[in-house]
Structure 1
Amino acid sequence: MARYIFITGGVVSSLGKGLMAASLAALLQARGYSVRIRKFDPYLNVDPGTMSPYQHGEVYVTDDGAETDLDLGHYERFTGVSARQSDNVTSGRIYQDIIAKERRGDYLGATVQVIPHVTDAIKEFAVSETEGLDFVLCEIGGTVGDIESLPFMEAIRQLRNELEPFQTLSVHVTLVPYIAAAGELKTKPTQHSVRELASLGIKPDVLLCRSEHEIPESERRKIAQFCNVRQEAVIPALDAPSIYSVPLQYHQEGLDTEVLRGFGITDAPDPDLSRWDDVTDRFFNPEGEVTIGVVGKYVGLQDAYKSLNEALIHGGLANRVKVNIRWIDAEVFEEDDAAIASKLEPLHGILVPGGFGERGSEGKIASVRFARERNVPFFGICLGMQMACIEGARLAGHDKASSTEFGPTEEPVVGIITEWMGKEGLEKRAEDGDLGGTMRLGAYDAKLSPNSHVSAIYGGKTDISERHRHRYEVNAAYRESLEGCGLVFSGMSPDGLLPEIVERPEHPWFVGVQFHPELKSRPFEPHPLFDGFIAAAVRQSRLV
């Protein structure tokens, strides 16, 4: 029988509920329990797929092709449990499904209302596909008191009444700010947040109190008295030097112990935290450092490249080096040629990530050219691979090589894909159709050329599966021309039609991939491409 942990937040947003959920799940997992984490997002978008990265950060893609909240990346990285379509739901998706049922007449003429129809749909989502699990953690987006989140709060209240005793638990993440002018911590925001939650019929069992300063016992006792929880259940959550030290920090403060006690479990096995000890040891005790330049379009908001940032750190963990990431706006290289050398020469590796649209494209192509000419390790991901192919085509004499994504072109080295072979057979998309959910999404297989560089990186494998999120593909008709100039197609779709990986065998490390390997990297299991890229950067650092 699955037990449910409902995680809410109060006072302000961005308190780290997602990281808290991932850390708690990792601690329960370390004790031998099976876990799954789910995210309820109150916004009316069906999914974040059409939202600007500046609005929402990166879109995290699952194996089964769901475009989800970036918190699911934390969930996967901390637990190693692959997320699914059923692990993220929005108000938009729930209302879309309910309205579709109403139009079909499924409700047999009944008046469709928030209660019971919307709340029933939320509850159904929460408890579905939980067979064989010990714990299901459900994170509610936003903060208590938001109009958008009220149906989710009501659904939680109902579930806590409907499920068995000791089958549900509420964890509330709140803020205990330090007021410098007064020289003291203030517990009143937490008190008000808990009171607001209680007014919705939900009594928190555990309070996770975020703070920049130590919370003394006297303040924990005060919070416990005013918020009607045990003092031991008031867990301090101070800022951590690394997100990968958070599970160990929360365990030290007793979070997992209090959660288990709330379920009446007092004889749980001690957690095996050895892999987290190893991760933190590698992170805080590096034996060197490298500097990687990420030449992108959304560098003003690092959450737009959240998984990429973490995957680079994982590559550093694998090689026991610190990775300094230098975020570079690709548009800078379009305005000032002198900036290319000044910004890229100090780097030990250059990475061009995924993205959409023409803005910054010429700057990315200039970065590819610099890496190729100067023998600097280069890694192109999704659009980054496409820019590498356009740069290679121009080198091969196709001076007007471009992508149809950027407008009409005489040399469409990259073009929109309207049909491809998926797991269920031929998939088709209209060029002028909806944007949401119409890309090549999720895990697809690829065939690697034997004895290629990437095959060696993958440990000699010739069959791999990686996650995609893109609408445009490299035109395989240019393969002969590109390979004539040293850019080899070393990975293809199983039907041999879609280029998946390109490389330059004569270059120290030059790889472009159409998929997003950062989505499958874990701190305790770094993705081999990031492991290899950082290893190449380490070698480069010894040459500089």
Structure 2
Amino acid sequence: MARYIFITGGVVSSLGKGLASAALGALLQARGYKVRLRKLDPYLNVDPGTMSPYQHGECFVTDDGAETDLDLGHYERFTGRPANRMDNITTGRIYQDIIAKERRGDYLGGTVQVIPHVTDEIKNFVLDGNEDYDFVLVEIGGTVGDIEGLPFFEAIRQLGNELPRGHAVFIHLTLMPFIPSAGELKTKPTQHSVKELRSIGIQPDILMVRCDRKIPENERRKLSLFCNVREGAVIPAYDVASIYDVPMAYHEEGLDDEVLAAFGLTGAPAPNLDRWSEISRTIKNPEGDVTIAIVGKYTVLKDAYKSLIEALVHGGIANHVRVNLEWIESEIFEKEDPSPWLENVNGILVPGGFGERGSEGKIAAAGFARTHKIPYFGICFGMQMAVIEAARNLAGIDDANSTEFGPTGEPVVGLMTEWTRGNQLEIRNAEGDLGGTMRLGAYPARFEEGSKIASIYGSTEISERHRHRYEVNIGYRERLEKAGLRFAGTSPDGVLPETVEIDDHPWFIGVQYHPELKSRPFEPHPLFASFISAAVDQSRLV
């Protein structure tokens, strides 16, 4: 039977519960255990698909088309296990399901209440489908004390009593701030956070304490005493140079040993952390540097591009170089010449996005990369803007644009109204709901023999994850290919363009899908590895 580890957070948000969960999952994996990670999000949105990146950061998409929390990206990158729609749930989705049952009469006239109906739904979600796993790690979003999180804390409290003895462990992640004027680390915020957790019936078995400096033994003993936690189970969670140092850092502090001890498990093999050590050495000892300009519209919030950042790091690992990122707000290029910003970079990447704001700046960035022979990588919206640039400036279609921005006489990019998913026809319209209506999840694509992208993948048939509502218009293919923009990849039926490239360019590729979602530190995505390799070559020319 699976054992459950519940990870909660206190004091402040953004302490890194998702990263801590992923790192612990990796440590248990390194000991030979099978793990699963799940995220419970207390907000009322059904999923983060309609939320602004400024509000929620990146929306991570799974193979089965779920729009999920960005922490699932950490889970995948650290454990290699593909997540699915049953690994993330929100208050909104729970209430949606409960109200649907109530309308059908499933509750037989009973009064529907938070306890037991909402908490039972949460418990059923946590327990479902875990037969093949040794450990299930369940992260509860938000911070203890948040009113919207109370049903989730109540549900895991109940599970702590209902699961067999020794099958549930509670980990609480807190902050231990340093007060410069006092010259001290303070334990009081953690004490209050644990007090709040205990007030709703949960006693943590392990404390993980985020801190930017070494915790003195006196303070560690104080936390143990006042929080009713064994001293050895007070685990410092120090800042590290790279997120890929986290599993080894936690192991050195004894986290995985304490978790196994809390379950009463003895004799477990020591973790094999060789591959994590190798990743750490590669990151710390690069053989060179490259600079990549990311021209986007959410550049003030790096979490909006979390998977993209990590995929570029993975590309650097594959090439043994450090990847330096220059974040550029695309609107700048609508007012200024791109040259001062882009002439000294080794690669230009335009990522996904939505809406007209900043689109002309992205088109300008694609044009600069094309004309100055700088490696260019356009992802989703970035591919569409590159196609519009080529249509205007190579094919002479002056009014080329996207219907996403309004009516246009030359809809080079347009709204998809139907497409095939497996054997099923998906149909959409402009007046429909926004949430969950895009082309989402893994779809196959086919590449032309002899194309650059086929050589990068080493295959002409691939599957990648999508998240978009607009598509390059296949009707413009002939005119654009005559001008030099090659449609190297399409959907298997040839209807939907998937990739474009320019043959007489060092590296110019646009893809309609999101390859960053499938990149791993131990398996860098081939497109990112190739893009960074091209940037390395470019750096030697500068």
Pairing 1:336-415 to 2, within 5 Å after superposition: 336-337=336-337, 340-394=338-392, 395-415=394-414
Q: Which amino acid aligns with 2:452?
A: H
1:456 is aligned to 2:462: no
Secondary structure at the aligned position of 2:540 is classed as: helix
Letter in 1 for 2:463: S
Structure 1 equivalent of residue 417 of structure 2: 418
**Which amino acid in 2 is paired with 1:540?**
Q
- In the alignment, what sits opposite 1:492? 490
2:510 maps to 1:512: yes
Percent identical: 70
Give runs of aligned pairs for residues 2-17 of structure 1, distance below 5 A. Answer: 2-17=2-17
Task: Give 4+ residue runs of structure 1 displaced > 4 Å after superposition.
Answer: none
Query: What residue in structure 1 maps to residue 185 of structure 2?
Result: 185
Residue 138 (structure 2) pairs with residue 116 (structure 1): no
Q: In the alignment, does 2:436 pair up with 1:437? A: yes
2:196 and 2:388 mapped to 1: Cα distance? Answer: 56
Instruction: Give the aligned residue type for 1:38.
Output: R
Partner of 2:54: 54
Query: Which runs of structure 2 are paired with 1:180-219 in the superposition (5 Å)?
Result: 180-219=180-219
- Which residue identity does 1:402 align to in structure 2? N
Output the amino acid matched with 1:389: V
CA distance in 1, matches of 2:423, 2:58: 27
Alpha-carbon displacement from aligned partner over 1:422-469 (angstroms, at most 9, x marks no partner): 02411111221000000000000000111110011002x011000000
d(CA) in 1 for partners of 2:450, 2:134? 44
Residue 225 of structure 2: aligned partner: 225
Q: For 1:434, what is the secondary structure of its paired residue?
A: coil
Residues 122-167 of structure 1: CA deviation (Å, up to 9, x unaligned) = 0000011111101100000011111000000000011011110111
Question: 2:279 corresponds to which letter in structure 1?
Answer: V
Residue 231 of structure 1: how far off its partner (Å): 0.4
Alignment of 1:27-66 (within 5 A): 27-66=27-66
Task: Say yes or no: does 1:313 pair with 2:317.
Answer: no
User: In 2, distance between residues paired with 1:26 and 1:514?
Assistant: 31
Q: Match of 1:272, SS?
A: coil
1:120: how far off? 0.2
- State the Cα deviation string for residues 335-387 of structure 1 (Å, max 9, x = none): 112xx000000100000100000111111111111111111000000000001
Partner of 1:12, secondary structure, is: coil
Determine the structure 1 residue equivalent to 2:302: 302
5+ long unaligned stretches in structure 1: none
- Provide, for residues 193-247 of structure 1, a one-character-per-residue CA deviation record: whole Å limited to 9, x for no partner: 1111111111100000011121011111111111111100000011111111011
Please give the alpha-carbon distance, in whole angstroms, between the structure 2 residues aligned to 1:371 and 1:145: 50
Q: 1:328 and 1:185 mapped to 2: Cα distance?
A: 37
SS at match of 1:543: coil
Map of 1:335 onto structure 2: 335
**TM norm structure 2:** 0.99
For structure 1, which segment, 116-125 or 360-369, has the greater mean C-alpha deviation from structure 2 after superposition? 360-369
Query: Helix, strand or coil: the match of 2:256?
Result: helix
The within-5 A match list for 1:463-482 is 463-482=461-480
Distance 1:315 1:457 in 2: 13
1:90 aligns to what? 90
Letter in 2 for 1:63: D
Cα distance in structure 1, aligned partners of 2:423 and 2:39: 27
User: Structure 1 counterpart of 2:373, which letter?
Assistant: N
How far apart are the structure 1 equivalents of 2:131 and 2:409?
A: 55
Distance 2:339 2:190 in 1: 51
Alpha-carbon distance between aligned partners in 1 of 2:374 and 2:483, rounded to the nearest angstrom: 18
**Separation in structure 2 between the aligned mates of residue 163 and residue 2 of structure 1, nearest angstrom:** 10
In structure 1, the partner of 2:520 is 522
SS at match of 1:445: strand
Structure 1: which amino acid aligns with 2:260?
A: L
Q: Distance in 1 between matches of 2:203 and 2:497?
A: 54
Shifted more, 417-426 versus 201-210: the winner is 417-426
Deviation at 1:538, TM superposition (A): 0.1
What is the count of residue pairs matched by the alignment?
A: 541
Q: Distance in 2 between matches of 1:288 and 1:175?
A: 36
Q: Distance in 2 between matches of 1:342 and 1:495?
A: 43
CA distance in 2, matches of 1:520, 1:293: 21
Counterpart-to-counterpart distance in 1, 2:373 and 2:474: 26
Structure 2 unaligned segments of length 5 or more: list them. none
- 1 CA distance for matches of 2:72 and 2:409? 41
Name the CA distance, whole Å, in 2 between partners of 1:193 and 1:388.
Answer: 50
SS in 2 for 1:229: coil
Distance 2:217 2:24 in 1: 23
Distance in 1, Cα, partners of 2:203 & 2:502: 60
1:152 is the counterpart of 2:116: no
Q: Distance in 2 between matches of 1:125 and 1:48?
A: 18
The CA distance in 2 between the partners of 1:133 and 1:59, in whole Å, is: 26
CA distance in 2, matches of 1:271, 1:145: 35
Structure 1 equivalent of residue 136 of structure 2: 136
In structure 1, C-alpha distance between the alignment counterparts of 2:136 and 2:236, rounded to whole Å: 23
2:340 alignment partner, SS class: helix
Q: CA deviation at 1:536?
A: 0.2
SS at match of 1:350: strand
Q: Distance in 2 between matches of 1:211 and 1:111?
A: 46
The CA RMSD measured in Å over matched residues stands at 0.6
TM-score normalised per structure 1: 0.99
Q: Distance in 1 between matches of 2:329 and 2:146?
A: 35
C-alpha separation between the residues in 2 aligned to 1:131 and 1:417?
40
* Partner SS for 1:181: coil
Q: Larger deviation: 528-537 or 195-204?
A: 195-204
